[in-house]
Amino acid sequence: MNVSILYVNYKTACLIVNSIRTIKEHTKDISYEIIVVDNHSEDDSLSMIKTAYPEVICIQSAENLGFGKANNVGLKVARGECILFLNPDTLLINNAVEILYRHLQSSPTIGACGGNLYDENHCPTHSFARHFPTCRQEFFSIFYLPDMNWKVPKSRCFNYTGNPLDVAMIVGADLMIKKTVLEETGAFDPDFFMNGEDVEICYRIRKANYRILSLPDAKIMHLEGRSLYILQSRLHFLYEGNFIYFYKMTGKNGAKNLYRIIQLKNNIRILQFTLLRNKRKQVYWKMKKQTAKEAFRSAEIKLEHSLSTQIYPE
């Protein structure tokens, strides 16, 4: 088996059925299997998927495990040489799976890869990061400024070069990793629920001296935000995942510094829109401030009780 394609489902069966349809339409010249792990959707998701595609391997979880832990469940039955973690809200534009697989297998130094992502209007969207997150990036965003790095080309998240590009990480929407690399570096960190786990796993892959490539020939549409559960809880898990990631990379003080910068930004925005008498945006930024507070505490509690926490700084 060349590739195991893994989906995590939480009430997104319609999206997955459409995504699988594009896999069937475009994927050629390789063998693959499709695995769906259902995060206790409590609906007819799996029956809908099995009715449309009986060959799909479906696994029912007794609870909502989140993105990374559910993918780890799927990994236990995956037979592919390479694992493609694919979001439910993705549609293949071309033979992307084969393109990713061939490049990944072309060299023992390549550990992971991903394609260029497009929105529903076929406009470029966030596909990778050239650098891992820093407090400096968050600080610059307070003043609506990008993190200054004059060595970086015009785009920091989409590959316009037409050639393979070495990057720090691929977003989890279409991340393909060699199974041998996962066995060496480990699967997704269970401390993350939904957000940050793709950054952290790429960090470990890079730390093990493997390259991570952005492959522009592989084209995938990402209908980001179409899933209801993402819309409802996105901000909380975004903050929580960032705090957990910074805790692992920079220690407790690093996570606290990130929290302070985020709250400084939120307070400045509240003052800004109070002076501008924009009540709608005042309410929005006050909500972000409260969500950041709750997410930071949630991250602390998770890490206090975690048996798997790995702190990277020596």
Tell me the pLDDT tens digit for each residue of 75-86. Answer: 999 999 999 999
pLDDT of residue 212: 98
pLDDT of residue 141: 82
Q: How confident is the model at residue 308 (pLDDT cuts 50, 70, 90)?
A: low
Q: What is the mean pLDDT of residues 257-280?
A: 94
pLDDT at 303 over 90: no
Lowest mean pLDDT among 18-22, 54-58, 143-147, 247-251: 143-147
Average pLDDT, the chain: 90
CB 3, CB 29: distance < 8 Å: no
pLDDT at 154 over 70: no
Cα–Cα distances in angstroms (integers) from residue 306 to residues 157, 250, 300, 309, in the given order? 32, 17, 10, 6
Q: Which range, 156-160, 162-166, 194-198, has the best average confidence (pLDDT)?
A: 162-166
CB 44, CB 13: distance < 8 Å: yes
pLDDT at 166 over 80: yes
Helices 13-26 and 45-52 pack at an angle, to 10 degrees, of: 20
Q: What is the mean pLDDT of residues 77-100?
A: 98
pTM over 0.75: yes
pLDDT of residue 150: 42
> What are residue 207's phi and psi, to 5 degrees?
-60, -30
pLDDT at 226 over 80: no
Give residue for tokens 């206090």: 304
Q: Which residues pair with 215 in a beta bridge?
A: 115
Q: Which residues pair with 211 in a beta bridge?
A: 110
Lowest mean pLDDT among 59-68, 137-146, 204-213, 291-300: 137-146
pLDDT at 272 over 60: yes
Q: What is the mean pLDDT of residues 237-250?
A: 92
Q: Whole-angstrom Cα distance, residue 38 to residue 59?
A: 6
pLDDT at 309 over 90: no
pLDDT of residue 314: 47
Is 197 exposed, middle or buried (CB count within 10 Å of its CB: 0-12, 13-18, 19+)?
Answer: buried
Q: How confident is the model at residue 146 (pLDDT cuts 50, 70, 90)?
A: low
Kindly write down the DSSP assignment for every residue of the chain, as one continuous string.
--EEEEEEESS-HHHHHHHHHHHHHH--SS-EEEEEEE----SSHHHHHHHH-TTSEEEE-SS---HHHHHHHHHTT---SEEEEE-TTEEESSSHHHHHHHHHTT-TTEEEEEEEEE-TTS-EE--EESS---HHHHHHHHTT-PPP-TTS-S-SSS--SSS-EE-SEE-TTEEEEEHHHHHHH-S--TT-SSSSHHHHHHHHHHHTT-EEEEEEEEEEEE-TT-SHHHHHHHHHHHHHHHHHHHHHHHHHHHHHHHHHHHHHHHHHHHHHHHHTT-HHHHHHHHHHHHHHHHHHHHHHHHHHH-SS------
Percent of the chain at pLDDT > 70 equals 91
pLDDT at 232 over 50: no
Tokens of 243: 């705090």
Tokens of 14: 């319609």
